[in-house]
Amino acid sequence: MEKKALDKVCREIYRKFPPLKDKKPKVSKQGNDYLLVFSDSGRTPDGKTIQQAVRVVATEDGKIIKTSMSR
């Protein structure tokens, strides 16, 4: 995936999910598209640590096809 397309996807994800700002995704090829996984850990109100992941499927030119989030 080209840097310009990657930056486009990252800007959109950072806008939708501010806690992930400045987290670099793991990028892998998936068929004709790319899978980007943004990971972060946060804290619950009672002090426990929680892993968060946002998975994004995007095209070669940076168009987001699908986004999903797990907690």
**DSSP-derived secondary structure letter, 45:** T
Q: What percent of the chain has pLDDT over 90?
A: 75
> To the nearest whole number, what is the mean pLDDT of the chain?
93
**DSSP-derived secondary structure letter, 3:** H
Q: Is the pLDDT of residue 27 over 90?
A: yes
Q: Whole-angstrom Cα distance, residue 53 to residue 37? A: 7
Q: Which domains does the chain have, with CATH numbers?
A: 3-70 (2.20.25)
> What does pTM read for this prediction?
0.85
Q: Is the pLDDT of residue 37 over 90?
A: yes
Question: For residue 23, how many other CB atoms are within 10 A of its CB?
Answer: 15
Decide: 33 and 58 in contact? Cβ < 8 Å: yes
